[in-house]
């Protein structure tokens, strides 16, 4: 255990963002931080994406469960200096605390505003296209086609709408002292001075995703020798897909593409899984040869980061406008990014080129592993976030000192 005087600062990750906070917190501890992860997610279906937690808030009908939530919140006021939240609507301590605030007749987000009144720093990580950006603005981004046309949630305003997305963006920007994002989607409330490109937050453990990962027998893929395995997967396929396999992951484009390549004699097979726990799906991923990611969205997500850490080449559409926006803050990231970009119109030629040049695939995979270690390893995340947290705490000290000085006048 670190003695109090040795601790650089105290941060609580409130809520999960896949496994990012878990690995980040473990590395922050090595650097002298008190860093804990609270799992406040009431959705059991999401648990397969998480790798660990220090605390978990359970949801039952018993009054004791609600009291435990309240006790945890109150105790945290004395134990942490920084609260790091994630995901749209996720600046909260779970549904019970939110309900209590409403029952007491207090303004919405009073529990978060109390943190700020007490001098706590609020950090937030953006994690999606509907996070602070209206659907109208998002679909106007130039590209092969409006990605919203392939989205399951396009016509479901209770999930994604101009009103809902912008209302969240307004609150989010009022509450957060610093925001992490990745991908350059700077429209509406994402075009804000406290929103920063921080690729290091979206981190992985290089030992969990390693190119020489041993595959247990029950996860072995049994294809004929020489088969080129194309990994394309959607985490919750049924929920995110409409008719004809249409979704933002471009499944509706890849299925006929793979069929065409097979008809032309290429020994390819699409490898796809859904609802497989994240710690298990990596065993399938490491056996793949090429990863097929989104062709209209404009950037990549967690699966592509996992692929790069495993040393696999990734095909994904990279929107030039977003890359240019990112270049202003993280120019090296953009310059070194080894993703192979493609659109629905060019993906056939791009993929066929990789299929006929295996040495090219190996080189891109090697560069991907190096890139992921530099930008998306948990150690890199801890160094970057430790710097951000330290600057926020220093800002707090300076503001407190200024208040004392004014009080002496």
Backbone φ and ψ for 314, nearest 5 degrees, come out as -130, 135
Both tokens of 350, joined, read 């791009």
Whether the pLDDT of residue 111 is over 90: the answer is yes
Q: Are 90 and 42 in contact (CB under 8 A)?
A: no
Domain extent listing, the chain: 4-203+378-408, 217-375
Return the CATH class of domain 4-203+378-408: alpha beta
Whether the pLDDT of residue 402 is over 70: the answer is no
Judged by phi (left if over 0) then psi (alpha if -120 to 50, else beta), residue 109 lies in left
pLDDT at position 127, please?
Answer: 86
* Interhelix angle 110-117/95-103, nearest 10 degrees: 90
Q: How confident is the model at residue 233 (pLDDT cuts 50, 70, 90)?
A: confident
Q: Are 76 and 303 in contact (CB under 8 A)?
A: no
**Structural fold of domain 217-375:** Rossmann fold (3.40.50)
Whether the pLDDT of residue 196 is over 90: the answer is yes
Which segments within 107-220 are labelled E, that is strand? 121-125, 178-181, 195-197
HSE of 28, CA atoms in CB hemisphere, 13 A: 30
Q: What is the pLDDT of residues 236-269, one digit of tens each?
A: 666 777 878 888 899 999 999 999 999 999 999 9
14 DSSP β-pair partners: 38, 85
Average pLDDT, the chain: 93
3-state class (DSSP) for residue 110 = helix
| Topology agreement, domain 4-203+378-408 and domain 217-375 | yes
Whether the pLDDT of residue 30 is over 60: the answer is yes
Q: What is the pTM of this model?
A: 0.93
pLDDT-above-70 percentage for the chain:
95
CA distance 299 to 321: 11
pLDDT at position 48, please?
Answer: 85
Whether the pLDDT of residue 397 is over 70: the answer is no
CA distance 129 to 154: 12
């Amino acid at each position: 255990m670190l003695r109090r005087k040795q601790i650089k600062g105290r941060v609580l990750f409130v809520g999960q963002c896949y496994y990012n906070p878990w690995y980040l917190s473990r590395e922050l501890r090595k650097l002298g931080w008190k860093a804990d992860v609270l799992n406040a997610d009431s959705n059991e279906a999401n648990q397969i994406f998480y790798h660990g937690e220090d605390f978990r808030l359970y949801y039952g009908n018993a009054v004791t469960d609600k009291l435990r939530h309240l006790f945890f919140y109150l105790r945290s006021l004395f134990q942490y200096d920084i609260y790091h939240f994630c995901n749209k609507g996720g600046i909260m301590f779970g549904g019970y605390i939110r309900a209590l605030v409403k029952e007491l007749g207090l303004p919405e987000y009073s529990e978060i505003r109390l943190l700020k009144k007490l001098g706590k720093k609020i950090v937030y990580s953006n994690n999606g296209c509907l996070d602070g950006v209206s659907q109208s603005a998002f679909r106007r981004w130039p590209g092969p086609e409006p990605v919203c046309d392939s989205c399951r949630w396009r016509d479901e305003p209770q999930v994604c709408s101009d009103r809902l997305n912008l209302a969240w963006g307004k609150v989010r920007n009022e509450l957060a002292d610093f925001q992490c994002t990745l991908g350059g989607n700077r429209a509406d409330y994402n075009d804000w001075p406290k929103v920063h490109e921080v690729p290091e937050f979206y981190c992985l453990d290089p030992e969990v995703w390693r190119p020489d990962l041993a595959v247990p027998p029950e996860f072995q893929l049994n294809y004929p020798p020489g088969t080129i395995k194309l990994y394309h997967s959607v985490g919750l396929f049924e929920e995110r897909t409409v008719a004809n396999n249409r979704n933002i992951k471009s499944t509706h484009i890849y299925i006929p593409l793979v069929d065409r390549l097979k008809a032309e004699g290429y020994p390819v097979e699409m490898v796809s899984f859904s609802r497989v726990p994240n710690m298990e799906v990596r065993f399938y991923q490491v056996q793949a040869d090429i990863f097929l990611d989104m062709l209209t969205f404009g950037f990549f997500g967690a699966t592509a980061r996992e692929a790069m850490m495993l040393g696999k080449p990734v095909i994904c559409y990279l929107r030039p406008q977003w890359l240019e926006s990112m270049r202003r803050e993280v120019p090296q990231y953009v310059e070194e990014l080894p993703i192979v970009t493609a659109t629905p119109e060019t993906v056939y030629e791009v993929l066929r080129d990789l299929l006929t040049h295996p040495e090219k695939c190996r080189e891109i995979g090697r560069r991907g592993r190096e890139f992921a270690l530099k930008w998306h390893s948990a150690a890199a995340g801890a160094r970057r976030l430790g710097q951000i947290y330290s600057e926020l705490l220093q800002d707090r000290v300076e503001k407190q000192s200024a208040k004392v000085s004014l009080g002496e006048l």
